[in-house]
Amino acid sequence: MHFLAQENIQLGKTGWVLGDIPNLLAGALDVDIFICPACHKLEFYASDNEVGDDDLPKKTCPVCGTVHDFDYPQCPKCKHNYYEN
């Protein structure tokens, strides 16, 4: 098994009467995710490390090598657009 990522898994569920309020109040569970390279099975373990709100997954720009948050649509340094082919 190889370490894949650390994520917050949302607890709770959306209800018909109260909507998303129970979901928001339930919080999240920090987990470490591992993957088997042969069969791609995923295993989740309770994480010992706390992930803060500013600890988003990172990616590296293929053009300039800048490391930045994964959800940016383009590189903040060289403006490489990830959605253009």
**What tokens appear for 75 in the block?**
């590189």
Helix, strand and coil content of the chain, in percent to the nearest 5, comes to 5, 40, 55
pLDDT tens-digit series, residues 13-70: 776 777 777 666 767 788 888 888 899 999 988 877 654 555 667 788 889 988 887 7
Buried b (16+ CB within 10 A) or exposed e, 55-76: eeeeeebeeeeeeeeeeeeebe
Average pLDDT over residues 77-85: 83
**Helix (H) and strand (E) counts for the chain?**
1, 5
pLDDT tens-digit series, residues 61-79: 889 988 887 778 888 899 9
Report domain extents, the chain: 2-51, 53-85
The amino acid occupying position 55 is D
**What tokens appear for 4 in the block?**
């894949």
